Structure 1
Amino acid sequence: MNPNPTLMQRFLNGSLVLQIVIGIIAGIFVASVFPSTAQSLSFLGALFVGALKAVAPILVFILVASSIANQRKGANTNLKPIIHLYLIGTFLAASTAVIISYFFPTTLVLSATDIQATPPEGIVEVLNTLLFKIIDNPINALVTGNFIGILTWAAGLGFALHHANQTTKIVLNDISNGVTKIVHLVIRFAPFGIFGLVTSTFADTGFEALMGYSHLLVVLLGCMFFIALVVNPAIVYVKTQTNPYPLVFKCLRESGVTAFFTRSSAANIPVNMTLCEELDLHKDTYSVSIPLGATINMAGASITITVLTLAAVHTLGIQFDIATAILLSVVAAVSACGASGVAGGSLLLIPLACSLFGVPNEVAMQVVAIGFIIGVVQDSAETALNSSTDVIFTAAACMASDNPEIVEDDVTPVGEYMTDKA
């Protein structure tokens, strides 16, 4: 070991979480004291998010194809229970949002607004969009970041190469390892990127514009915190019968914080891959479940759709029964899963949910406008919940499996990690 490490070596070997915290504090300070300088530093955040978005499609495509091609015959990738957890978690998030919105109703001050966006007209359109994303050209899917299409082509290539000769599989695995190292290098510069993101966000918006919608934000964030700290741990406990909080807090700290500032589940895929590797989960499992989770595991999005829809309903004084509330939970969950790639994210699905209650589209679009105003906090918290939950449920399913292939023999399994920390 070098007794006199250079500054770069100290940076690369230091605690990434601590460095991110320092970046956040420094960003707030610069934005508050030197707002004019903050604008010139915003390129750091854009550069970091751009780098993550650039490597994520390649990483997912190569890693998924390599994992499937090199999978040992008879090995259990444990994906089915993970998908079940994704769907259950998304539905419970929507149901929780219904209950909290019922006891803490939100009314909004609506006015005429102009939004240049076209929401989907129904579930059929959402599913139609999903199907066309599946059959997208692979090059176009990589260029546009269509992760549903990327997953489809990567899985197809992986199965096609599953019976290839060993040399081909070794080459594919080496390429996968090379891309992973590039991703690790990008992630090491997260403190600088998050510093730029925090600086530009505080300099541009601050919190003045959010104060008028404080009640709506409290309800939204309250739902997300409840899911993150109560519902998700309960699901993990039922699945694993162990103390869930060491895993939950680790995922929130190392995945949720980064996702909060990047505001992109796709950009956070490399971060989650690294965290799964640190938790010693089997690569055959997380190389598929993490990009899949970034597509269909949308607890935060279902909360946003539900809370803002019921805010419109309460504002107009519309009464609804429990059956309609349950239907709203189902629609919010399905819409969030099936249309994660729609421009504008979860907000443009609000008119679809509002149609269940007969809310005029003009009113629904005004609610969408309010969503964009509070988006600096809402979208960040939503992404943090979505992305961190991908790792939580993947780890929980791995822990619950009795299959010894789930973890490597020469590393500490995630179950032992949680036992030691509990």
Structure 2
Amino acid sequence: MPADLAVIGLGHHGLPLAQAATAAGIDTIGYDTDPRPVAELAAGRSPVDGSLTTPEIRRMLSGGFRPTTNPAELGRVRTAVLCAPTSPGPDRTLDLTAVTDAARALAARLRPHTTVLLESPVPPGTTEGPLREVLEAGSGLRAGRDFHLAYSPGRLDPGSRTHGYAGTPKVIGGLTPACTESAAAFYGRLTDKVVRARGPREAETVKLLETNFRHVNIALVNEMAVLCHELGVDLWDVIRCAETKPFGFQAFRPGPGVGGHGVPVDTVGAHRPLRLVELAGQVNERMPQYVVQRAATLLNEHGKSARGARILLLGITYKPDLPDRQGSPADEIAARLMDLGAAVSYHDPHVADWRVRELPVPRADSLYEAAAHADLTVLLQHHRTYDLQGLSVKAQLLLDTRGATPTGAAHRL
């Protein structure tokens, strides 16, 4: 059955796009080579990362959304959006294998006049270089002449109640002006504002800048957290005051590490490395070790050793109120605490099972009882369900890595 849109890659980028398209009345299929997420979605179940809820998936299905593993479906659409995952390889450059595989599957069935869009994070030059080459070689068609080709950086704030798909502007860079306008016509059905970049390289670099901007600024406040602790300064009060400045400042807050799907890119192919981003990555990668150091010091100050200490970790996801653990620093923190001989347990209302180094981590059923029993409780993620005032009363010793507890109620990062 023909469809208006194929979303290729049903991960944290592809599913929200498919949701927005289905809600807008666009006949949408979702293609993925992995049969497991396709089967789960077809059964109306929420994905593991919690990017969409079960009721949302079911509304999509009732609206006509069709998940599939059949590549033949790709030859029957007017628009195809590649949302395949990319992640850093051994040399810290992005691995484009999944994007290339998705492009090959599409190219074999690509029809004239189709609009092909790429949303995956990629190095600048990918759309008009490797992607274009794969599509043209596999289809015998010419990009910009026989089909439209453009890049649009994925912009998602998972779990946000204020930044939905329609209210988030979409940046578009086409291979030709006609490609840009074709992409703009598609995204104009989903979002309130479309921003036209000069070309695909500029649009690709938008994603690079946005991701690195986040990591560099988090690194700055993480370094400030270490400094302020040494100086006896309340960093969270500093940030509260600083963010009243109406210009030249945007508030970022420290934490136990940087999670999420958007990874910093400090080198782009054979081009010069981004030294500031490289340094920011080193700062942020040290934060789990710093949290463990602070935990051991707190225990020592209260006459206890990390070896044999009962340590409860609260919130092990990378973002509050979501089950997604992509890039969460909790795994490294737990592993380091175990190396010190600590008995680690956890509580998280969104994660029913957790394994570190292939070993199961005991899950606390009763939060207050577990906190009262633990020698040290460490808040790694502030879920909405946590009553931190009550928790601070019950816990023997509480380390807050998020600055979420009332002033004086806990030891802050």
Q: State the TM-score, normalizing by the size of structure 2.
A: 0.24
Q: Kindly indicate whether structure 1 or structure 2 has the higher relative contact order, using CA contacts under 8 Å at least 6 residues apart.
A: 1
Say which structure is richer in strand.
Answer: 2
Q: State the TM-score, normalizing by the size of structure 1.
A: 0.24
**Radius of gyration: which is bigger?**
2
